[in-house]
Amino acid sequence: MAEEILAAGDADLVGMVRANIADPRLLPKSMADAPKTVRPCIGANVCINALLDHKTLTCMVNPELGRPLSTIDRPIGAARSALLIGAGPAGLEAARRLALRGFSTRLIEARDRVGGQMERWSQTPSRQEFLKAVRWWEDELERLGIDVALETTADVAEIMRHRPSVVMLATGSTPIVQGSADLAGTPVFGPYDVPASGGHVLVQDEIGRLSAMLTAERLAAGWRRVTLVTSAMHPGEGEGVTTAYTLLRALGRAGVEIVDRSKLVSVRDGRAVLSGVFDEARPVIEGVDAVVPLLGAVSHIPLAAELQAAGATVHRIGDAKLPRDVTAAVKDAADTVWSLDVHNSAGTPSESLSHSVAATLS
């Protein structure tokens, strides 16, 4: 875009701020004719929200911010192999960091594409820019020669046969759809299996984060009526203002009806009964055909116990460690790979390190 502005004569100089936060090597990479390797800024505004909150500068896609350069991607210096299970943001970032450190890396993904949940909700109109990050990770897998197996469900016997030095579980999380509301007889869907079109859908938000907002916005493209009921003060209450306010505008423009400070009690024969979180009266919502509850998520860790029983040291990263968001998943991935610096290849303290700690304590 900067090149186009200059070529059109619309400006003599283009300044870029967030693009340099996402990839501080933007200029050298571009000048070296390697623009595809530039990590794209996807406009997530995690950086600006952090600054407005007087917190340390953070970036959704760049976990290197604030890290001493000497700790980043140090070569492992020996022939080692790594196996990653799950190609969401955590698995993708860990795979490229391991490859950059010199591990021979294999990435197994159950779906027919990479990107995990991010690839799914990036289909929402206001989130399509985020797909750029998924495409960049995909290019990185190819550039770094990472062995990717799609449509493959990890199998413990097969994993152990390859005897990888490092195993990382990046298998993500599963949305919780079963809450305390009485929804007997009403079709209930998770955010990823809800049909694209229908009559009147009620999105039930009990966490006040982005998931309900993005789900409501996406459904507004196909459902006749979308009502978002949130127990928060407003949808996206727990998010930074530049993100929440932008999405509130998108919901308004998409015609989503918002009922805030309310909990869903029941839906019977299409009549949704709500209660105000501060005991306020709430009107009944009529004609509800389906409910999509967003009640949080639980880690999906199908192989952890089996792998440990088979003798593997398993690192859980991203939502598989604790369901949070992409920024946390990417940071987990990088921190875990970089922490292998002071550990042996299996990620457990090396014998000499244990001895030196014991000596210091004594």
Ligand X SMILES: Cc1cc2nc3c(=O)[nH]c(=O)nc-3n(C[C@H](O)[C@H](O)[C@H](O)COP(=O)(O)OP(=O)(O)OC[C@H]3O[C@@H](n4cnc5c(N)ncnc54)[C@H](O)[C@@H]3O)c2cc1C
Note the residues at the interface with ligand SF4 (CB under 6 A).
18, 21-22, 41-47, 59-62
Binding status of residue 116 toward ligand X by CB under 6 A? yes
Identify the CA nearest to 169 among candidates 108, 82, 85. 85
> Does residue 173 bind ligand X (CB under 6 A)?
yes
Which residues, 6+ apart, have CB-to-CB distance to 66 below 8 Å?
56, 57
Q: How many CB atoms lie within 10 A of CB 181?
A: 22
Of 300 and 343, nearer to ligand X (C-beta) is 300
Q: Give every CB contact of residue 19 below 8 A, 6+ residues apart in sequence.
A: 26, 40, 41
Subset of residues 264 to 303 that bind ligand X, contact rule: CB under 6 A: 300, 302
Q: Which position among 168, 194, 216, 326 is part of the footprint of ligand X (CB under 6 A)?
A: 326
Q: Considering CB distances under 5 to 8 angstroms, the limit depending on partner class, which of ligand X, ligand SF4, none binds residue 21?
A: ligand SF4
When asked if residue 89 is in the footprint of ligand X (CB under 6 A), the reply is yes
Nearer to ligand X, 226 or 282 (CB): 226
Contact present, 49 and 68 (Cβ < 8 Å): no
Distance CA 316, CA 329 (A): 10
Q: Choosing among ligand X, ligand SF4, none, which partner's interface includes residue 22 (Cβ < 5 to 8 Å by kind)? A: ligand SF4
Q: Among ligand X, ligand SF4, none, what binds residue 118 when CB lies within 5 to 8 Å by partner kind?
A: ligand X
- Report the length, in residues, of the chain: 362
CA dist 300 and 202 (Å) reads: 26
Query: Quick one: how far is CA 119 from the chain centroid?
Result: 9
Residue 61 CA: distances (Å) to CA of 20, 38, 305, 360: 12, 11, 30, 38
- Tell me, residue by residue from 128 to 157, as one string, x for binding to ligand X by CB under 6 A and - for no binding: -------------------------xx---
Residues 176-205 that bind ligand X (CB under 6 A): 191
Q: Residue 43's binding partner, choosing from ligand SF4, ligand X, none, with beta-carbon cut-off 5 to 8 A by kind?
A: ligand SF4
User: By C-beta, is 42 or 337 nearer to ligand SF4?
Assistant: 42
Q: Interface with ligand X includes 229 (CB under 6 A)?
A: no
Nearer to ligand X, 26 or 44 (CB): 44
Ranges assigned E (strand) in 40-111: 81-85, 104-108
